[in-house]
Structure 1
Amino acid sequence: MTGIEDYTRQYGLVDKIDAFGYLDYLAANPDAPRKHGKVVLVTADTPLKASRGEGKTTTTIAMIDALRERGIDAAAVLRQPSMGITAAGSKGGASGGGKALLTHPEIVDWGLCGEMGAIEAAQNLLVSFAEKAIDDGLLDTVLVPRVSEVPSRSLRQIAVDRGKGNVPERVVLTPTCELMQIVVLSRSMDEIAERVSKMVAGTKDGKAVTFGEFIDLWRITGILTDAVKPAKTETVNGSPVYVHGGPFANVSLGIPTLVSVDLACALHDVVIVEAGYGADAGAQKWLDIACREFGAQWPAAAIVVTRASTWRDDPALSWRYPFHVQRLEGLGIPTFPLINLWEGEDDQVPALEQTAAELGFRKPVIGNLFRDGGDALAPQLDDFVAAVTGEEETDVPASHRGEPLVDNVKWVASHAYGVPAERVIEKAGFAESLADARRLCESAGIALDDLALVAVKSPATMTDNDAAPADDRTVTLKKVEVHAGAGVVHVNLTTSLTTPMPKIV
């Protein structure tokens, strides 16, 4: 009998799984053994600093270890982090820590599962084709950025001397690029090829020219043969973990690939999915893009991670954690606050529990997960297990495709950031950027308002100034950028870089 092992092969110290092939097999053989796992979303409070996470990955790993200790077949799906930022010490890795750790954390943190390098090569080859198309008179401009896993300030905006004048180009980090988004959202290699063909390479006489008009797509899809396969590894306690897809939920999607989650749900009863940065970033994009627009599973429950210090030490920002928890509860998702203690904070537990009760939260889950791992969580999960294993399901809200883009942004600002529509401001130049994006889409035969919205924002703030009084908080719209192949449109809201610089370590 055919099984998952027939679609799995060794790839260095991890396994690679042909998820496209296995899920096609299950679709063609409805009587084949499979599970229908429920998704649990792990997100976080908005961090005080972009470089300081709240502990989502450590929590995710500790959670599956704890659930399996209780006899529940649980697995995790993690994002592949950006090696350039992780290795440079600009933020923590994506492999947990202490007793809540992957067996080979360096494999994940240094990009050795392979997809980052392959996606980098494939998108850069696309740019090379676009540059050659200028030589051949097929393009006047190049609109697709080159990508790199190594940050460089000098490459943020460059110009290439073509002999007949300079052609502006730019470089972004790999996980922020359109090809990464295509891999994250696609469920077959044919879909990837179709989406790449719709990527706007540049313009000729002011009109969009797509890659499908002048290149053979097999040259790109061939590079991605292994990159589209989720990596499988495990925790130090033997719990299964799948790693696939890019981070950076502030400037891109920041969620694992949809196919990796589909795969895990076919193999396990509970699948913990980690979304990037805070609930205003990764969770918003899982719910409003992956679920609402691309058919991903609506979470059976959510966990919002914070540190005791983040939640309580800055009064001007203390509104954010309750906002996240209450927003997810308001969507019908049983939401469990989890407080990830640091060493020396155990004596704060009674006060934290009292504050959570005063805010009307479910009973918080509290523990030092680095020190104690899943052992800290297993005794506290009765309510969580009851919620996840219950029969109640919530309908996925309707798509926003077709709504005017600015109305869509205002909806996100209101629901995900707590800023009403009347306090969403358009910066000088935004209207022109929106008009340019609309003309580009029209020339490519695409309706701008049919693209899914990706809010591009600071990872450490939800509004223009989170410390401002509630009635003074605003969100400013700055720029629009079309990713037609991925089926998304970026709207820049607050200052954020797609090529952040490392720290000196």
Structure 2
Amino acid sequence: MTSIEDFTRQYGLVQKIDAFGYLDYLKNNPDAPRKHGKVVLVTADTPLKASRGEGKTTTTIALIDALNERGIDAAAVLRQPSMGITAAGSKGGASGGGKASLTHPELIDWGLCGEMGAIEAAQNLLVSFAEKAVDEGKLDTILVPRVSEVPSRSLRQIAVDRGKGDVPERVVLTPTCELMQIVVLSRSMDEIAERVSKMIAGTKDGKGVTFGEFVDLWRITGILSDAVKPAKTETVNGSPVYVHGGPFANVSIGIPTLVSVEMACALHDVVIVEAGYGTDAGAQKWLDIACREFDAQWPSAAVVVTRASTWRDDPELAWRYPFHVQRLEGLDIPTFPLINLWEGEDDQVPALKQTAKDLEFREPIVGNLFRDGGEALAPQLDAFVDVLQNAAAPARPSSHSGMSVIEDAKWVAEHAYGVPADRILLKDGFVASRDEAIALCESVGIDITKLALVAVKSPATMTDNDRAPEDERTVTLKKVEVHAGAGLVHVNLTTSLTTPMPKIV
């Protein structure tokens, strides 16, 4: 009998799984054994600093260990982190820590599962094809940026001398690039090829030119043959973990690949999905992009992680954590606050629980997960497990397809950041940028209102000034950028930072 092992092979110290092949097999064999796992979203409070994590990955690992300890078949799906930012020290690594960590964290933190390097090579090859197209008179400008895993702000805007005048180019981080988004959102290699063909390479005489007009796409899909396969590893306690897809929900979509989540749901009863940065970033993108526009599973529950210090030590920002929890509850997603204690904070537990009670939260889950791992969570999960076992199936949300870019941005600002439509501001040049994006889409036969909106923002703020009184908070729209192949349109907010840098340690 065919099983997941038939689609799995060793890849160094981890395994790689042909998720496309496995899901296609299940589609063509409806009687084949499979599960219908429920998705739980692990997200977080908005961090006080962009460089500081709240502990989502540590929580995710501890949570599946705790569920498995209670006899529930649970797995996690994590994003592949950025080597140049996450692992180089700007924030904690992406493989947990202490008793809530992975068996081979170095493979995850340093990109050695392979997809980052392959995606980087593939998009840079596309840019090389675009350069050749300029030489041959097929393009006047290049719109697709080069990519690198190692950040360099000096490369954000560059000009290349071709002997006939400079051609502007730029470099972005691999996780944020359009090809990464295509891999995250696609469900087959054919879909990847189709989406790459729709990427706008540049312009000729003011009109967009797609890669499908001059590139043999097998060259790109060949590079990606291993990159599209999720890596399988495990926690130090033996719980299964799948790693696939890019981070950075502030400047991209920041979620694991849809196929890795669907594959995990076919193999396990509960699948914990980690979404990048805070609820206003990764969770917003999972709900409003993956679920609304790309048919991902709406979460059966959510866990919103915070540190005790984030929640309580800055009164001007204390509104954000309750806002996140209440927003998800308002979407009929049972939402459990989780407080990730650091050393020396155990004596704060009674006060933290009282504050949660005053805010009418569900009973909070509290523990030092680095020190105690899943053992700290297992006794606290009765209400959480009851929701997973007995709650009604979540309803599928409606699409935003057809909304204008500005109206969609206003909807996100109101629902994800708490700023009403009449306090959405347009920076000088935004309307011109929007109009240029509309014209570019129309020139290649695309309706921009059919693209899903990606809010590009600071990971540490939800508004232009989170410290302002509630009735004075604003959100400013800065510029628009089209990722036609991925099916996305980016709207930059004023406080966006698209090229963060590592710390000098």
Match of 1:198 in 2: 198
User: SS of the counterpart of 1:20?
Assistant: helix
Counterpart AA for 2:419: V
Give yes or no for the alignment of 1:2 onto 2:10: no
Task: State how 1:285-304 maps to structure 2 within 5 Å.
Answer: 285-304=285-304
C-alpha displacement at 1:393, in angstroms?
1.9
Moved over 6 A (4+): none
In structure 2, the partner of 1:210 is 210
Deviation of 1:410 after TM superposition, in Å, equals 0.3
Using the TM superposition, give the Cα deviation of residue 318 of structure 1 relative to its aligned residue in structure 2, in angstroms: 0.1
Task: Specify every segment of 5 or more residues in structure 1 that has no aligned partner in the other structure, as ranges.
Answer: none
| Deviations 1:80-99 (CA, angstroms, capped at 9, x unpaired) | 00011123211111100000
Number of the residue aligned with 2:135: 135
State whether structure 2 residue 99 is matched by structure 1 residue 99. Answer: yes
Matches within 5 A, 1:30-49: 30-49=30-49
Q: Secondary structure at the match of 2:495?
A: coil
Q: Which residue of 1 aligns with 2:378?
A: 378
1:57 matched to 2:57: yes
Deviates more, 1:392-401 or 1:339-348: 392-401
| In 1, Cα distance between equivalents of 2:148 and 2:467 | 34
**Following the alignment from structure 1 to structure 2, what is the Cα–Cα distance between the partners of residues 18 and 258?**
13
Partner SS state of residue 415, structure 1:
helix
d(CA) in 1 for partners of 2:462, 2:396: 24
Q: CA deviation at 1:497?
A: 2.8
Distance 1:209 1:399 in 2: 28
Size of the aligned set, in residue pairs, is 505
What is aligned with 2:346? 346
Asked whether 1:14 is paired with 2:46, we answer no
2:479 matched residue in structure 1: 479
Equivalence map 1:247-326=2 (5 Å) = 247-326=247-326
What is the one-letter code of the residue matched to 2:143? L
Q: CA deviation at 1:391?
A: 4.2
Whole-angstrom CA distance in 1 between matches of 2:293 and 2:409 = 15
Contact 1:253/1:285 (8 A) holds in 2 = yes
Q: Structure 2: state its 5+ residue gaps.
A: none
Task: Give deviations 1:125-168, integer Å, cap 9, x for gaps.
Answer: 00000010000000000000000001112111100001111111
1:230 aligned onto 2:214: no
Q: Which amino acid aligns with 1:80?
A: Q
8 Å CA contact retained: 2:62, 2:369: yes
What secondary structure sits across from 1:89 in the alignment?
Answer: helix
Secondary structure class of the residue paired with 2:90: coil
The answer to whether the 8 Å contact 2:425/2:476 transfers is yes
Aligned partner of 1:499 in structure 2 is 499
1:355-366 correspondence runs (5 A): 355-366=355-366
SS in 2 for 1:103: coil
Which residue pairs with 2:388 in the alignment? 388
Q: Is the 8 A contact 1:463 1:494 kept in 2?
A: no
Q: TM-score, normalised by structure 2?
A: 1.00
For 1:116, the equivalent position in structure 2 comes to: 116
1:312-363 deviations in whole A, cap 9, x for unaligned?
A: 0000000000000000000000000000000000000000000000001000
The 5-angstrom pairing of residues 456-475 of structure 1 reads 456-475=456-475
Structure 1 residues 436-455: aligned runs within 5 Å: 436-455=436-455
Distance 1:389 1:44 in 2: 24
- In 2, Cα distance between equivalents of 1:339 and 1:87: 24
Q: Aligned residues: percent identity? A: 84
| Aligned 8 A contact 2:76 2:273 in 1 | yes
Whether the aligned pair in 2 keeps the contact of 1:171 and 1:499 (CA below 8 Å) is no
The CA deviation string for residues 103-136 of structure 1, in whole angstroms up to 9 with x for no partner, is 0000000000000000000000000000100000
How far apart are the structure 2 equivalents of 1:82 and 1:389?
Answer: 35
> How many Å separate the matches in 2 of 1:286 and 1:193?
23
Q: Give the 5 Å matches for 1:398-417.
A: 398-417=398-417
Residue 395 of structure 1 and its aligned partner are, at CA, apart by 1.2
How far does the alpha carbon of each residue in 1:389-433 deviate from its partner, in whole angstroms, 9 at most, with x for none?
124022122100111110110000000000000000000000000
The whole-number CA distance in structure 2 between the counterparts of 1:391 and 1:23 is 27
The 1-side partners of 2:391 and 2:284 are apart by 24
The 2-side partners of 1:267 and 1:233 are apart by 15
Native 8 Å contact 1:98 1:373 kept in 2: yes
- Letter in structure 1 aligned against 2:223: I
State how far apart, in whole Å, the 2-side matches of 1:393 and 1:423 are.
36
Q: How far, CA to CA, are the matches of 1:6 and 1:122 in structure 2?
A: 27
Residue 54 of structure 1, CA deviation: 0.2
Aligned partners of 1:88 and 1:364: how far apart in 2? 33
Distance of 1:50 and 1:396 partners within structure 2: 32
* Corresponding letter in the other structure for 1:431: V
Counterpart secondary structure, 2:400: coil
* 1:88 match: secondary structure: helix
Which letter does structure 1 place at the counterpart of 2:402?
A: G
Cα distance, 1:498 vs structure 2: 2.6
Q: How many Å apart are 1:495 and its aligned residue?
A: 2.5
Aligned-partner SS, 1:16: strand
RMSD: 0.6
Q: Distance in 1 between matches of 2:420 and 2:391?
A: 35
- Distance (Å, rounded) in 2 between the aligned partners of 1:290 and 1:392: 21
For 2:87 and 2:39, the matched residues in 1 are separated by: 30
Distance 2:125 2:101 in 1: 36
- C-alpha contact 1:86 1:110 (8 A) present in aligned 2: no
